[in-house]
Structure 1
């Protein structure tokens, strides 16, 4: 699992960095709609890799090698029966640190959800004939927003009533477009993906830019057919609410002072959008994601052909415990095993081929090997062999190791 996260972090970092670096160019040439749509490449890259892990036989376009004949040997020392190496110690505790941070982020969003529901329940209904959703007004709301997953509502501050009809209609249309596009659910997906890769700062930067592009896209939709005076009024409304818009995962804040200038400038550049173009972009990005992951798999397979040892090396190796009885009696020994590796790198079907003393170290060796993690591959591996040498003390280099053919 750690290996998968590292591989995905590299891929997603490349994708996010490319969009962030090219963002200004994309926005000026493609417009807000298509720039916002480019962010679909982030979940598509993850989905493509997961799909190829689950169904590797359907996506092995470059061929693969699944035979490993080289046997790997490892020492199991009596004085290290509990402790792992420094690297393995780090890897053992990493999942706990990862889970703790994820739990904190989940708790944060649950608390935010509870607070938002309280605001919705305490808000007063406001009659707005042009809105298909309930419009609620609350004194503690500082910026218009769409909130609520199963029964969405548009929340507005008290100052909403002071706007003229044109400005009110523009705000309602803006939030309605969020609703029609399903942005609340999209935001949860984006935030969930960011939480999974919380340790990658590029994911947080990308999430913020994604949410800002979401607002730019809504502005472009609402102002597409507006006259100059209407756009000026819309800009003044943005300015009025731009000081009170903290980024939230559970609602769509109307104002955002960090991109106020960018939003106003974008209203002068109308690029339009095409459904066929969006479908075409989805197909191109999807195919690119699959091809990118296939190239990575092809590189792994090339290594398998030129360096079988590298493919047979584990990325996470749990050290077996040295049997207490064997340690007390001063017994050395070995266990030679054969097993399979799934495309996801999981060990299965472990069988003992040879061992000495007979049965002394078998259970310890099998229990540890079943927890090992290998790097992912297109088709996995069959009949991989490994030998664990149980020794009381680290032998001198001049002493020949136990080797079984």
Structure 2
């Protein structure tokens, strides 16, 4: 809500300048037809409800109105300031803004923003309640009104004519008008309806309700209402073929006296500004062609100038690289520059920036970038996260922020938030030099920005391993248990799997070969090597010392196997098996894929076939007689096939159940017939009930895996989990 409130404040500030310009334009166009001044208020409405615009060299807006006068990160700034483009205002307001004090947990501006947002909402609610209540009261007072013709009513207790309603607006006239008065006034109200003024007035009031805190918006609402009435009067005078100025003014004067039942409701479209209207009527002269033409040119120029933003100044180099380098800073606490760098970064699809935090109280200094996604996309980012974009962003930040030592990307996916942390030491290792050198080399930094720099290509693997090992071995000195050291330095331990991989494994094995794996160092390297080897490790004896383990090690080589093939005779099952193998295999990562589908039904309409299934899929690798499960999932899907001209079914659509809170609803959405879209009764409940207990497809997976291994000549293979328990063996 705070973000929304800041957006409204920015629109209100921008519109305030536009309101002042329109008021000035009204004075210039004083002799022009009032419909031109009335039209200019549309520019104000645009600025009050649309947070963006187009750029133009003809813009009349201050230089900074193409950006937010109040930056959205102002509540985090060490020296908060606004930038409206008007230096006198900026200086006065910025000096009065409170700055955060050292040691305070919350910036005072954060508190003010939250309080202001709640007051703003209360103001909107109060105005809307008052308006609707006043309309209801007015309708009760008009119950005795008599229908005269069509949508025209007369009321005895009424002295002022007005229009009430939106979809079926009604015109209410006072009783006792003479023929001429009735003709003039009725035509005035009908012009309002023809121009849809009754709707425009209500929309204007809703905009006013949003910006109720801005006195200039109230002034604009009042002047817009006045121009609406004056332009309507001029239309009536123009349409009448006779000189009716005096009788028309007399009728306005007579209606301005007496008892009014209008209760100030902005939703009751009534008449006002009688003195100005009478004066305008008496002074009315039919405008000349040249006056109208000149006024229109001025109004269009003013309108275009106020609708558009000033064209951005083009620096010598306005590229992303140039913008990033402009914000290079040696101090991580420079909130404005660090924030600007973060705003310029791009993140993976479906991940959005939320906020950032700076940690500069004590070393090591750091930055936390808070990101958000939703439960639906959790499967894309949890588990084995594709970190290339995050790595690039971290390298860019380390290159541009002088004394930041760690960067933490926190991702809230709506289920279980997790984080990806990088250290400057990691960054230095990844590029094989001080990462700050990137800021001095535009060519290398531009490669990082474009994603073409191969992170890790120049990594000094020896330095990488030794640096992380030295950190792990640094504490706790009082313990001799390797696990205590690992628990104390989980990030450094995880670095081996995130960034070291096979290169780190080969370097550590070379250390065993060289006899440089004694004591605690050897114990930790042995644990790392065992995890990196996985099923390739042939040594099962856990009592061996590190060097004894290495001496007994004979790394198992992978036995390549094809993906599982269905050998049954059911054509529907054949389609499903082939599709699931195709959708779940991963040639780049290697291994072989086995699937175990549970089919709940198949439905055919015209040339489409739709099959509903829950599939257990898993990707395995085989090293000797040791199986390694590389990844797997159990997901309900709806598969739609189209029959081609040869009578064969080809895949048309593959719909997976969504994760998280939308799991059940997404299944109900796709449980429909393939052509008509008619819901299939009871099918979704059947799928959901099965998902609560899918032991049958687990058993089918074991059967299919066993069958597949035997088919390929493997009669001795075992799958062991991380706890050393046997999960599967060929039967």
Match of residue 280 from structure 2? 263
The C-alpha deviation readout for 1:287-319, integer Å capped at 9, x for no partner, is: 435532655999xx799578427465489x989
Correspondence 1:226-241 to 2 at 5 A: 226=240, 230-241=244-255
How far did 1:111 drift? Answer: 0.9
Q: In the alignment, is residue 96 of structure 1 matched against residue 126 of structure 2?
A: no
Paired residues of 1:48 and 1:289 also in contact (CA < 8 A): no
Match of residue 231 from structure 2? 217
Structure 1 SS opposite 2:188? helix
How far did 1:47 drift? Answer: 5.5
Match of residue 108 from structure 1? 130
| Structure 1 Cα separation of the partners of residues 128 and 35 of structure 2 | 30
Match of residue 193 from structure 2? 179
How far did 1:109 drift? Answer: 1.4
1:336 to 367, 375, 383: 367
Q: Give the TM-score, by structure 2 length.
A: 0.37
1:141 to 130, 154, 158: 158
Q: In the alignment, is residue 308 of structure 1 matched against residue 327 of structure 2?
A: yes
Correspondence 1:187-202 to 2 at 5 A: 187-202=201-216
| Structure 1 Cα separation of the partners of residues 170 and 268 of structure 2 | 10
| Structure 2 Cα separation of the partners of residues 194 and 26 of structure 1 | 25
How far did 1:260 drift? Answer: 3.9
Match of residue 168 from structure 2? 151
| Structure 1 Cα separation of the partners of residues 195 and 51 of structure 2 | 26
The worse-fitting range, judged by mean Cα deviation, of 196-205 and 84-93 is: 84-93
Q: Give the TM-score, by structure 1 length.
A: 0.63
| Structure 2 Cα separation of the partners of residues 164 and 296 of structure 1 | 64
How far did 1:261 drift? Answer: 4.3
How far did 1:190 drift? Answer: 1.1
| Structure 1 Cα separation of the partners of residues 115 and 157 of structure 2 | 43
Paired residues of 1:173 and 1:222 also in contact (CA < 8 A): yes
Match of residue 9 from structure 1? 12
The C-alpha deviation readout for 1:296-349, integer Å capped at 9, x for no partner, is: 999xx799578427465489x9897x9xxxxxxxx98765345779xxxxxxx9
Compared with structure 1, are the counterparts of its residues 47 and 285 closer, same or farther at alpha carbon in structure 2 (3 Å cutoff)? farther
Select the structure that is richer in helix. 1
From the CA coordinates, give the structure whose radius of gyration is larger.
Answer: 2
Paired residues of 1:145 and 1:154 also in contact (CA < 8 A): yes
2:147 to 113, 125, 129: 125
Instruction: Compute the RMSD of aligned alpha carbons.
Output: 4.8
Paired residues of 1:194 and 1:203 also in contact (CA < 8 A): yes
| Structure 1 Cα separation of the partners of residues 130 and 242 of structure 2 | 42
Match of residue 19 from structure 1? 22
Q: Which has the higher contact order (CA 8 A, sep 6+)?
A: 1
The C-alpha deviation readout for 1:358-397, integer Å capped at 9, x for no partner, is: 99x9699x98x9xxxxxxxxxxxx99xxxxxxxxxxxxxx
Paired residues of 1:36 and 1:217 also in contact (CA < 8 A): yes
Paired residues of 2:162 and 2:269 also in contact (CA < 8 A): yes
In structure 2, the gaps of 5 or more residues are 55-65, 67-75, 79-99, 329-335, 344-353, 373-380, 382-388, 399-403, 420-448, 451-731
1:36 to 31, 35, 38: 38
Paired residues of 1:48 and 1:290 also in contact (CA < 8 A): no
Match of residue 91 from structure 2? none
How far did 1:137 drift? Answer: 1.7
How far did 1:217 drift? Answer: 0.5
| Structure 1 Cα separation of the partners of residues 278 and 285 of structure 2 | 13
Structure 2 SS opposite 1:22? helix
| Structure 2 Cα separation of the partners of residues 197 and 296 of structure 1 | 31
Q: In the alignment, is residue 170 of structure 1 matched against residue 187 of structure 2?
A: no
Count of residues in correspondence between the two structures? 321
The C-alpha deviation readout for 1:201-233, integer Å capped at 9, x for no partner, is: 111001000001100011000011446652211
Structure 1 SS opposite 2:238? coil
| Structure 1 Cα separation of the partners of residues 227 and 406 of structure 2 | 66
Paired residues of 2:355 and 2:370 also in contact (CA < 8 A): no
| Structure 2 Cα separation of the partners of residues 139 and 107 of structure 1 | 28
Structure 2 SS opposite 1:39? helix
In structure 1, the gaps of 5 or more residues are 53-63, 65-71, 128-132, 323-330, 342-348, 370-381, 384-405
Compared with structure 1, are the counterparts of its residues 312 and 333 closer, same or farther at alpha carbon in structure 2 (3 Å cutoff)? closer
| Structure 2 Cα separation of the partners of residues 21 and 42 of structure 1 | 13
